Structure 1
Amino acid sequence: RLGIEYDGSTHRDSLTADNRRQNRLLDAGLTLLRFSAGDISQTPQAVVRLVRSMLAA
């Protein structure tokens, strides 16, 4: 199972809650990919490649 996290421009404001959620998801057995706003806007093809690669694994 794959989880995808998007850290938008206000990400730092919710870092503690994000870390707790991430720990719960990992504990539930998910593999997580985390992308920043910059990842999505500057290198979207790389993001898509990585997600596709993880889904195919």
Structure 2
Amino acid sequence: MIGIFYGSSVGNTRFVAEKLAQLLPDSQLNPVEQATQPDIEKYDFLILGTSTWGWVICKMILRLL
């Protein structure tokens, strides 16, 4: 199973994550604000999407890594 985790400031990353979830039949969409370490451990593959600001990724994604 594929876990798609995303952090989106203005909605663009969420839009891309939703499109990926539509294209990948064995995937689940997860907003990173609600995710915990055990949530990511249940997947065989991960896709992480994040917004950037000044070349820095979203702190919510860093919290999970």
Q: TM-score, normalised by structure 1?
A: 0.44
Structure 1 or 2: larger helix share?
Answer: 1
Work out which of the two has the higher radius of gyration on C-alpha atoms and give 1 or 2.
1
